[in-house]
Amino acid sequence: MARAKRSSSGAPTTEPVARNGLLDRRLFLSSSLAALGAGGLALGSPGAARAAGPPETPSWMQYPGGPFSAYGGPSKHESKVTRVLIRSQPGTTGSGASRTPLEALEGTITPSGLHFERHHSGVPDIDPEQHRLLIHGMVKRPLIFTMDALMRYPMLSRIHFMECSGNSQLMYGPTPPALRAGEIHGLVSCSEWTGVPLRMLLEEAGADRAASWLLAEGADSASMSRSVPMAKAMDDALIAFYQNGERLRPENGYPVRLFLPGYEGNMSVKWLRRIKVTSTPTMTKDETSRYTDLQADGKSLMFTYPMDVKSVVTRPSPGVTLQGPGLYEVSGIAWSGSGTITRVEISADGGQTWAEAALTAPVLPRALTRFRIPWKWNGAPAVMKSRATDSTGEVQPTRDKLVAEHGTNVIFHYNAIQAWSIAANGEVKNVYA
Amino acid sequence: MSTPSRLAVSICVMALAACAAPTIRETPNLGRLATPAEVAAWDVSVAPDGAGLPPGRGTSRQGAIVYERKCQNCHGERGAGQPNDRLVGGQGTLATARPVRTIGSYWPYATTLFDYVRRAMPYTQSHSLSDDEVYAVTAYLLHLNGIIAESDAMSAETLPKVKMPNRDNFILAYPTRPK
């Protein structure tokens, strides 16, 4: 496997570090950008920028602006930035999924209103005054908690991604779906989650140390339930109340949800109502018939919990069209359920040569990590890829390798390298390459 | 509320450095003890060994009546599917290019069927079936899939003994993922 070229110490070079125009990842951070500009490169779209100048005194400078708002929303000019590919099961309005428009966002935190959704029986309208959490089973003291009581517990905050294990499943198909990045890969989002360590509540209940599992159950009308290893529950599981500083949105589990960092999203049971400590997995519908991974030989992998190392370039990507040759910043997200992203490599020549992208702080375990690299596009057709490596040494596989190992019937846990082809007119398409 | 751990914490605090139980921490202890009746009312989950199955029974013939009234609109005649999930058939397709995952071809445990129908079905009116009706629909779907005889009654005794056709085709990826 060709390793990414990383320029040696000293000032970043303005020479390409991989073929087809990928430049030193530190270039935009250094003073050599000025030299580069003097060399004849223009940022972004010179044609569009020069097309029409702004009015000298626009209307919004002539009159006082609008009033305060009780709860702010995005600019009306951003009204097209919504969840995408919203699909419900036939005859239902709330069983199915909606996705995060990854290509419209930057940084690493997903706005709560754009966090992907996956519901199995709609979004329940729960009165927090009536909602209770029961912890029982193999415990010394079965306990019932009100929400007010739980909110008095010491809390901690963690930034983590949440990914549905069915994310990117269309990529198992025989032809690459002609969709945008968010439509293909948008069952991943990232938030700051705040809540109480589950371990504290299990200790208060006196959970049996011989118990290896628990069952988590939600208060939706499917009573969605999953078995969770006790080791995970006692490690970093959160009983979460807040997302990005405010109480959970209804579609993300209000008033309380389980959160299991790095694990497939379905296990982080929303609208959490019951935890039963058990000796064995309960073998619920979702962990047996749904979220199991059918292999080419007809066998199925069960309990594939951590989401694998993965990345996708969001700029450029389908719908995010290049506006002529010139200097661009390539930008994207990488994540791993097993640890921290340690490297993201970018190729602009279909995977023949690779350059290392810059990882933008913060780089956190089990969180979306933003990567960026400068790219001087010469206007010729190109194929762009990103390849992530995590702190366990796992490297994102090619699609060919993933399919060779697991087949195309899997549905879940697709994490192969994404290829975008860029045409001479700047349009970007999803390709298998 | 007075509990053993709270008492231990108090002793620790009084004894300060002399305390020999460093694993006991002061925590809020704001949960109320759940009564056995409360736990019984909430605990609807059923384990593969049958733990949690309620009294009651039902046969395929009884289940057909329930199915036609409560399930068929979404799952088609005799579990054929459309507009929603197909429930019957597909055995022998899992290793082909067009696998059909149904209760009969895919589900590893019969107890899961009772657990899921009781907690989540019918979609528009969950928790509305009696335990006898859930046993009956379970029996009907197992019979349509050729797993039990039409005359077999499903109950807390018989259901855990049903061996599902795809039971041995699952490979555990936890705690160690197979390479």
Answer whether residue A161 shows pLDDT above 50.
Answer: yes
Q: What is the pLDDT of residue B15?
A: 42
pLDDT category at B13 given cuts 50, 70, 90 is very low
Peptide bond connecting B122 to the previous residue in cis, omega within 30 degrees of 0: yes
Q: What is the pLDDT of residue A380?
A: 97
Lowest-pLDDT range of A312-326, A339-353, B14-28 = B14-28
Q: Looking at the partner chain, which of A141, A224, A283 has a beta carbon nearest the beta carbon of B109? A: A283
- Contact between chains at B175 and A229 (C-beta distance less than 8 A): yes
Peptide bond connecting A255 to the previous residue in cis, omega within 30 degrees of 0: yes
Percent of chain A with pLDDT over 70: 93
Q: Please determine, looking at this structure, whether the domain spanning A132-281 carries the CATH number 3.90.420.10.
A: yes
Q: Looking at the partner chain, which of B28, B119, B177 has a beta carbon nearest the beta carbon of A223? A: B119
| Eight-class DSSP state of B94 | T
- Contact between chains at A288 and B31 (C-beta distance less than 8 A): no
> What one-letter code names the amino acid at A180?
R
CB of A209 less than 8 A from some CB of B = no
Q: What is the pLDDT of residue B9?
A: 43
Chain B residues close to A121, C-beta within 8 Å: 120, 123, 126
Within chain B, which residue ranges are assigned CATH 1.10.760.10?
A: 57-168
A250 three-state secondary structure: helix
Distance CA B177, CA A266 (A): 19
Q: What is the pLDDT of residues B47-92, one digit of tens each?
A: 999 999 999 999 999 999 999 999 999 999 999 999 999 999 999 9
| Residues 17-46 in B contacting A (C-alpha not used; CB under 8 Å) | 25, 27-34, 38-39, 42-46
Find the mean pLDDT for residues A116-124: 96
Domain ranges of chain A: 132-281
> With contact defined as beta carbons under 8 Å apart, do B142 and B148 qualify?
yes
| Residues 78-107 in B contacting A (C-alpha not used; CB under 8 Å) | 83-84, 94-95, 97, 99, 101, 103, 106-107
Q: What is the pLDDT of residue A126?
A: 98
Chain A residues close to B30, C-beta within 8 Å: 145, 149-150, 152-153
Domain made up of B57-168: CATH architecture: Orthogonal Bundle (1.10)
Q: What is the pLDDT of residue A38?
A: 39
Q: What is the pLDDT of residues A30-87, one digit of tens each?
A: 655 554 543 434 444 444 445 577 888 999 999 999 999 999 999 999 999 999 999 9
* ipTM passes above 0.85: yes
Size of interface A-B (CB pairs under 8 A): 159
Q: Looking at the partner chain, which of A95, A153, A283 has a beta carbon nearest the beta carbon of B112? A: A283
CA dihedral defined by B173, A268, A96, A409, rounded to 10 degrees? Answer: -10
Rg of the Cα trace of chain A? 24
Chain A residues close to B31, C-beta within 8 Å: 135, 141, 143-145, 149, 201, 204-205
Q: What is the pLDDT of residue A14?
A: 81
| Eight-class DSSP state of A49 | H
CB of B5 less than 8 A from some CB of A = yes
Q: What is the pTM of this model?
A: 0.92
- Contact between chains at A144 and B38 (C-beta distance less than 8 A): yes
CA dihedral defined by B74, B77, B81, B85, rounded to 10 degrees? Answer: 50
Average model confidence (pLDDT) across chain A: 93
> With contact defined as beta carbons under 8 Å apart, do A379 and A424 qualify?
yes
Q: Using alpha carbons only, what angle is made at residue A149 by residues A148 and A151, rounded to the nearest 5 degrees?
A: 65
Q: What is the pLDDT of residues B120-150, one digit of tens each?
A: 999 999 999 999 999 999 999 999 999 999 9
Q: What is the pLDDT of residues A237-275, one digit of tens each?
A: 999 999 999 999 999 999 999 999 999 999 999 999 999
Q: Give Cα A300 distance to the centre of its chain.
A: 25
Rounded to a whole number of angstroms, the distance from the CA of A288 to the nearest CA of chain B is: 6
Return the residue of A nearest to B36 by Cα: A142
Chain A residues close to B91, C-beta within 8 Å: none
- Contact between chains at B112 and A288 (C-beta distance less than 8 A): yes
Q: Provide φ and ψ at B12, rounded to 5°.
A: -60, -45
Q: What is the pLDDT of residue A3?
A: 61
Rounded to a whole number of angstroms, the distance from the CA of A129 to the nearest CA of chain B is: 15
